[in-house]
Structure formats: structure tokens, C-alpha cells
């Protein structure tokens, strides 16, 4: 939360978050994701790199999967969630 707050002091149009849920209790993750949602509601774009799919899906509009620096898949959340075989193939989950 502190890192997000510090980033916002600069008035960004885009915020990049790398694993914002890492090491946090589930209730704190929910709070962080609520802040992310509020940021996007104000027009700030947010790019999240996240392994916690539940958290990522709660705020994301699109899913982009990268492998070795290359985009290998891009879809809406609904399309990604409707194809569990593809998700398993891409993410191993």
C-alpha cells in the first residue's frame, strides 16, 4: 500500500505493479485489489504482473500471458475463464 501511495504522489497515468499480493494475508490482498479498482475507476491505467489468479481476475479487464519475454496469449477475462484447457496449457493451473 505504501508503494502504491508513493507512486500516486507523482500523478501517473499508468501504475505498474509486480506481484502486489506477494506475502500478504488474503484480507490485505482484497484491500490492495480494492485500491487498484479505485485507481482504474479514476482513469489511471494499471498493469499488474500477478500469480494469484483470483486477485488478478478481480481487477483485470484483459489477460496477457508472456513466455520468455514474448506475448503468447491475450484475451478478455471472460474468454480466458471460459477456456480452462487453454489456461492450464499456458499457466499450468
Q: Given this model, what pLDDT does residue 36 score?
A: 93
Question: What global pTM score does this model have?
Answer: 0.81
- Residues 58, 63: Cα–Cα separation, whole Å: 12
What whole-number distance in Å separates Cα of residue 41 and Cα of residue 56? 16
What pLDDT was estimated at residue 85?
A: 92
Give me the helices (H) in 1-93, please: 2-8, 26-41, 53-59, 77-81, 84-91
Where on the phi/psi map is residue 5: left (φ > 0), alpha (ψ -120 to 50), or beta? alpha
> What is residue 92's predicted lDDT score, i.e. its pLDDT?
82
pLDDT of residue 20: 92
Over range 42-65, report the average pLDDT.
92
Q: Does position 67 have pLDDT exceeding 80, yes or no? A: yes
Q: What number is the average pLDDT over the span 34-55?
A: 92
Which pLDDT belongs to residue 83? 92
Radius of gyration from C-alpha coordinates of the chain: 14
pLDDT in tens, 4-42: 888 889 999 999 999 999 999 999 999 999 999 999 999
- Spacing of C-alpha 14 from chain mean position: 13
Amino acid at each position: 500500500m505504501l508503494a502504491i501511495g508513493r507512486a500516486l504522489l507523482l500523478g501517473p497515468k499508468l501504475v505498474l505493479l509486480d506481484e502486489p499480493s506477494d506475502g500478504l494475508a488474503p484480507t490485505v490482498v482484497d484491500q490492495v485489489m480494492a485500491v487498484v479498482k479505485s485507481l482504474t475507476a479514476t482513469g489511471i491505467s494499471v498493469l499488474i504482473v500477478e500469480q494469484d489468479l483470483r486477485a488478478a481476475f478481480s481487477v483485470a479487464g484483459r489477460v496477457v500471458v508472456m513466455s520468455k519475454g514474448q506475448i503468447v496469449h491475450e484475451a478478455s477475462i471472460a474468454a480466458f475463464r471460459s477456456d480452462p484447457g487453454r489456461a492450464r496449457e499456458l499457466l499450468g493451473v
